[in-house]
Amino acid sequence: MSLHLPHRPRRNRKSAAIRDLVRETELTPGHLIYPLFIQEGRKNDNIASMPGCKRWCLDSLVKEAGEAHALGIPAVVLFPKIADKLKSSSAEECYNPEGLVPRAIQALKQSFPSLTVITDVALDPYNSDGHDGLVAADGRIVNDDTVDVLCRQALCHAEAGADIVAPSDMMDGRVAALRETLDDEDFQDVSIMSYTAKYASAYYGPFRGALDSAPKAGDKKTYQMDPANALEALREAALDEAEGADILMVKPAGPYLDIICLLRAHTVLPIAAYQVSGEYLMIKSASAAGWVDEAKVVQESLIGIRRAGADMILTYFAKDVAKRLG
Ligand code: PBG
C-alpha cells in the first residue's frame, strides 16, 4: 500500500541525526541570563514561594555565579532583599554606594571579570510603598521625579562596575534619561536592557514573595502594560529604540510569545525575554507532584521562547539547563 505522496515531512524526522540537521532553533547556555536574589549577612535562605531558589549572601553569590559562568552562562541579573529599616518613601537606599547591590557588583566583577553583571533599575525593593516608582500623597505613581531617582540608582550601579542596567520600572522617558546620565558621567559603555513590554502580570507573585516587595496599596496597572494589548508594545519598543536602548525585553515570556514575535518583526535590536517567577513555579509545582517531566518541560518552554524570536532568556532554570546542555 502506497499513497504515492511527493511530500512526506516525516522523512526529515526519521532519525536523531536528520532531526539534528534540520533543527531551526538552538538553545545553548550562551543564551541564558541567571537571575539571582541577594541578601545581607552570612547565610543563604530558601525562598518559600520559589522552591529550588535561594536568597544568597554575598560570599555564596560569588560561588553560585562562578559555577554558572563556568557552565557557559554569560550573565547574571541581581535582585536585592532590602531590610525594612532601610526602606523609605523616597527609596534613597537604592543609590547608596555602600549598599547591597554595589557591593555585590564589585565582588562579582572582581572574581569574574568576564561575567556580565546586569542590575535591576526600579524602586520596589527599596520603597516602603512597594511600588517601582515614588508614590504621591493621593496614591498616584509619580513619573518624572521617579526617573530622577532611577538615574541616580543606575549611576550608582555603573560606578560599582555594572555592565548592563535594566530598568524594569516602566516609567515614561527613563531610557533617554538613563542614557544621558550615564553618558554625562563617562559611562558610554554601560548598556541599557530595557523592560520594553512589561505587563501587569499575576505571574510576578512568587518574586514579590521572595523580596517582600509587593505593593502595600493598589496595583501596578498605571505603569505596567495591560495584558490585553499588543500594538502598545510596538509603541513602547519604538520609544525605547529612539531613546537609545541596546536590548528590548518582553516580560513575562511564555504567555506573551506573540509579543516577542511581534517585536522581532519590528526591530533589529536584540530581544530578551523573562521567564518569570510564576512560570518557574508552575513548572516546579507540576513536576514536584510528578505530573510532568521537569527537564523536558523546561527545555520545551525555553525553545518556545527562542523560537518566538528571543535572543536571550532570563530564567531561574538557567544553571540547571546549562548543566544538562553541557
Ligand atoms: C520589579 C520587578 C519584578 C520582577 C522583576 N523586577 C516584579 C514586579 O514588577 O512586580 C518580576 C520577576 C519575576 O516575577 O520573576 N521591578
Q: Decide: 279 in ligand 1 pocket, CB within 6 A.
A: no
**Percent of the chain with pLDDT strictly greater than 70:** 100
Which H/E stretch holds residue 98? none
Residue 206 has pLDDT above 90, yes or no: yes
Q: Decide: 207 in ligand 1 pocket, CB within 6 A.
A: yes
Largest CA distance in the chain: 79
Q: Decide: 124 in ligand 1 pocket, CB within 6 A.
A: yes
Q: Which residue's CA is minimally distant from atom 2 of ligand 1?
A: 168
Cell numbers representing residue 139 in the block: 496614591
Q: Decide: 277 in ligand 1 pocket, CB within 6 A.
A: yes
State the Cα–Cα distance between residues 162 and 119, nearest whole angstrom: 7
Q: Report helix, strand or coil for 6.
A: coil
Q: Indicate if 319 belongs to the active site.
A: no
Residue 314 has pLDDT above 90, yes or no: yes
pLDDT for the residue numbered 212? 86
Active-site residue identified among 198, 220, 284, 319: 198
CB 249 within 8 A of CB 272: yes
CA of 70 to the centre of ligand 1 (A): 27
Mean pLDDT for 170-183 is 98
Mean pLDDT for 296-309 is 98
Give the mean pLDDT of the chain.
97
Cell numbers 543564551: residue: 31
Determine the residue type at 121: V
Residue 233 has pLDDT above 90, yes or no: yes
Q: Tell me the β-bridge partners of 249.
A: 195, 272
Residue 213 has pLDDT above 90, yes or no: no
State the Cα–Cα distance between residues 215 and 101, nearest whole angstrom: 21
Q: Where do runs of H (alpha helix) occur along 91-164? A: 100-111, 144-160
Q: Please state whether the predicted TM-score (pTM) of the whole model is above 0.85.
A: yes
State the Cα–Cα distance between residues 44 and 264, nearest whole angstrom: 38
pLDDT-based confidence at 209, cuts 50/70/90?
A: confident
Show Cβ contacts of residue 80 under 8 Å, excluding neighbours closer than 6 positions: 37, 38, 39, 99, 100, 101, 104, 125, 211
Q: Decide: 163 in ligand 1 pocket, CB within 6 A.
A: no
Cα separation values, 33 from 147, 157, 185, 308, 317, Å:
26, 18, 27, 17, 10
pLDDT for the residue numbered 109? 98
CA of 14 to the centre of ligand 1 (A): 43
Residue 195 has pLDDT above 90, yes or no: yes
Chain Cα centroid distance, residue 236: 17
Residue 272 has pLDDT above 90, yes or no: yes
pLDDT for the residue numbered 326? 82
Mean pLDDT for 214-241 is 96
Q: Computed from CA positions of residues 259, 193, 268, 144, in that sequence, does the dihedral angle turn out positive or negative? A: positive
State the Cα–Cα distance between residues 103 and 97, nearest whole angstrom: 8
The b-or-e profile of 116-153 (16+ CB within 10 A means b, else e) is bbbbbbbbbbbbebbbbbbbeeeeebebeebbebbbeb
Mean pLDDT for 284-302 is 98
Pocket test of ligand 1: the residue of 76, 119, 123, 168 to mutate, having most ligand atoms within 8 Å of its CB, is 168
pLDDT for the residue numbered 282? 98
Mean pLDDT for 149-177 is 98
CA of 1 to the centre of ligand 1 (A): 58
CA of 13 to the centre of ligand 1 (A): 40
Q: pLDDT tens for residues 15-74?
A: 999 999 999 999 999 999 999 999 999 999 999 999 999 999 999 999 999 999 999 999
Show Cβ contacts of residue 235 under 8 Å, excluding neighbours closer than 6 positions: none
* DSSP assigned state of 271: E
Residue 252 has pLDDT above 90, yes or no: yes
Which atom of ligand 1 lies at the shortest distance from residue 203's CA? 14
